[in-house]
A and B are shown apart, each in its own frame.
Chain A
Amino acid sequence: MQALKDCASMISLSKLAHDHMLVVFFVYGLAFFLLGTAILLKQDKRSSLKLRSLLLLLAGFGLLHGASEWSDMFLALGETYWTPFLFRIIKTIGFYLGLGSFVFLLAFGLRSVALDRSRFKWLERASVIVSLLFAAVVTVHGIRTGLSTQWYVTSGVLMRYLLAFPGSLIAAAGLFRQSQSREIKEINSSAIHRNIRGLAAVFVVYALLAGVIVPQAPFPPAAFINYSSFENVFGLPVQIFRAACSLLAALFVSGLLNAFSAITYGDLEKQVQERTSDLAKANETLLRDIAARKRVEQELTSKAEELARSNAELELFAYVASHDLQEPLRMVASYTQLLARRYKGKLGAEADEFIGFAVDGATRMQQLIQDLLSYSRVTSRGKALNLTQSETACNSALENLRESIKESKAQVSVGPLPGIIADATQLTQLFQNLIGNAIKYRNERRPEISISARPNGSEWTFSIQDNGIGIEPKYSERIFQMFQRLHTRKEYSGTGIGLAVCRKIVERHGGRIWVESQPGRGSTFIFTIPRAERTEK
């Protein structure tokens, strides 16, 4: 019963379709137009996806094929509706539109299969050339046979076998391939995968419906597998199924394009969100930085205040040391000296010795305080740095050392020395201490001292070279520390302040000081002072 009913409804459907073949063709064509226009309307230039641009070829297929079907629709009005000439014209136009549409389909398929590998370009070109050759051969044959009805059937069938069938299958394969591409995989969207696979499946079905089911022709397989045999089996004209395919294709393409757009917008939105959050983060970092900087600034200010305070305390200490400490010490020293003066030899040898130690201690203490003061005065009493002729300063130092130079018969040579930005008094003291040391730490040879300067980049390098006792390299740093001595007071007098003062003076001038020496081979004291040229006013 049921089967009978189905059969009845099928028959009536078939009848309906046959009665309204115009409508079938209209819907059929419209479905393809929908496919084409959907693709064209939904093109989004912001998307960089390759598949999206490939779909343009599919749009070409849809539009041309839609037009071709509508030409069939006009033909369905019947041969009698048209003049035979117009009928032929429409038939020819329909044929070529169909041919064109399949060329687009083939191109789409091939390009999809090739992905983005340019070495498959020849294949695509070859297919177009073959298609055109086919069209040319068919056309030539058609003209020769005077566009006979037989020609239409034969060429139509061949077109479907040679272009529609492989074109549709390759398109299906291409879509499948595209769904496997890195580009699509990276998107990882189930909607896109679903739509691509759906579209591929549609093209497989369409390959059978449009490439295998052909008009009846007097050669196999068209002689057996054709529209009427299809209708006999399925009860409906194949065009209905093709239209359904095309509608499904339009649906899938539309879904695909929507998914693309969503991704593009999603991408954009994500980018905007990322930017915004980056910006917020940067802002936060900036605020933190500013806060940190403010804190550092405050710390710096308080450190500077602290330093100023400690400096003032140090100055006060220096003052106290120079006056209040000196006063009682002067008493001790003076009276022990007076004792020594008045009672030497009168209290016994032991008493003389004791008094001697007391006097020595007191005088040494006085000297230490004096040295400490002169060290602290390098900064506290330093004068402003002005353009100073270092040669003049050096000569002043030599003048101050005249006695010891004369006594030691030292030979001093002074090379040309430059003008530098310095405190003249301190520069003199610097030369005096270094030349004084060169004389003081002499050996049995006659002292030979040479003072010179040479430019070195942005600074002057001064050197004071002697032929004295020299210093072991391991002590070359220690000698610049306050009250550090390498010799007993018996060997060489002094408190060990001279080089410490030298270093302090050089550092105040923005330079460095060091010694190059070997024991027994003399020493060279080297100090640098920034060159005057740039700061000179």
Chain B
Amino acid sequence: MNSRTIEILLVEDNPGDARLTLEAFKEGKVSNNLTVMGDGVEALAYLRRQGRYANSAQPDLILLDLNLPKKDGREVLAEIKADEHLMKIPVIVLTTSAAEEDIARAYTRHANCYITKPVDLDQFLRVVQSIESFWLTLVKLPSQ
């Protein structure tokens, strides 16, 4: 098993949702470090280690909400997948939207998977568990 701490970047503007995701990952078995960015511009700056993020860690996994201030999730996704340094990082779109249009557009822009946030906490916890067991345990991620 991978014993090193997994770096996760969560791009989510709602602190409540961010905290909930954080709490869900806390309950997980895999040791992880979850960083939260509140908008698209900040998230890209973090990923590109710009400005105050010069020393930031390259995440192993990105959880991306679609509705973000400043630069929304769709643009962030497109920029990540167009950036040769970032394109290999798996991006999981985690959003409340279940619109088919959003789903299709996300995959067109090479999202690695698309998950609609369940309303119910138990289901949400199960989703996070699934992410953990699949993306952080089963899947072989590219080395840093």
Interface residue A330 (Cβ < 8 Å from any Cβ of B): yes
A331 is an interface residue with CB less than 8 A from chain B: yes
- Residues in B neighbouring A338, C-beta threshold 8 A: 20, 23, 121
Question: Given A323-B96, A326-B96, A327-B96, does the pair A334, B14 have CB atoms closer than 8 Å?
Answer: no
In the complex, whether B16 has a CB less than 8 A from a CB of chain A is yes
Q: Does A475 contact B (CB under 8 A)?
A: no
B96 touches A363 (CB 8 A): no
Q: Which residues of B contact A341 (CB under 8 A)?
A: 121
Closest chain B residue to A336 by CB distance?
B121
B100-144 contacts to A, CB under 8 A, are 119-122, 124
Quick check: A337 and B121 within 8 Å, CB to CB?
A: yes
The minimal Cβ–Cβ distance linking B127 to chain A, given in whole angstroms, is: 12
Q: Mark A295-327, 1 if CB is under 8 A from B, else 0.
A: 000000000000000000000000000010011
Question: Is A354 an interface residue when CB atoms closer than 8 A count as contact?
Answer: no
Choice from B17, B23, B120 contacting A363 with Cβ under 8 Å: B120
Contact, CB under 8 Å: B96 / A366: no
**Interface contact B119-A327, CB-CB below 8 Å:** no
Q: Which of B14, B122, B124 contacts A327 (CB 8 A)?
A: B14
Given contacts A326-B96, A327-B96, contact A335 B16 (CB under 8 A): yes
Asked if B14 and A326 make an inter-chain contact with CB atoms under 8 angstroms apart, the answer reads: no
Q: Which residues of B contact A326 (CB under 8 A)?
A: 96, 119
Whether the Cβ atoms of A334 and B96 lie closer than 8 Å is no
Which residue, of B16, B17, B119, has the highest number of chain A Cβ atoms within 10 A?
Answer: B119
B 1-29 binary contact with A (CB < 8 Å = 1; else 0): 00000000000001011001001000000
Chain A residues in 8 Å Cβ range of B17: 331
Residues of chain B in range 66-121 having any CB-CB distance to chain A below 8 Å: 96, 119-121
Q: Which residues of A contact B20 (CB under 8 A)?
A: 334-335, 338
Q: Smallest CB–CB gap between A213 and chain B, Å?
A: 124
Q: How far is the CB of B14 from chain A (nearest CB, A)?
A: 7
CB distance from A523 to the nearest CB of B (A): 32
A169 CB-CB contact with B under 8 Å: no
Which B residues are CB-close (under 8 A) to A331?
A: 16-17
A171 within 8 Å of B (CB atoms): no
**10 CB-based A-B contacts, threshold 8 Å:** A323-B96, A330-B119, A333-B119, A334-B16, A334-B20, A335-B16, A337-B120, A337-B122, A338-B20, A341-B121
Q: Which residues of B contact A (CB under 8 A)?
A: 14, 16-17, 20, 23, 96, 119-122, 124
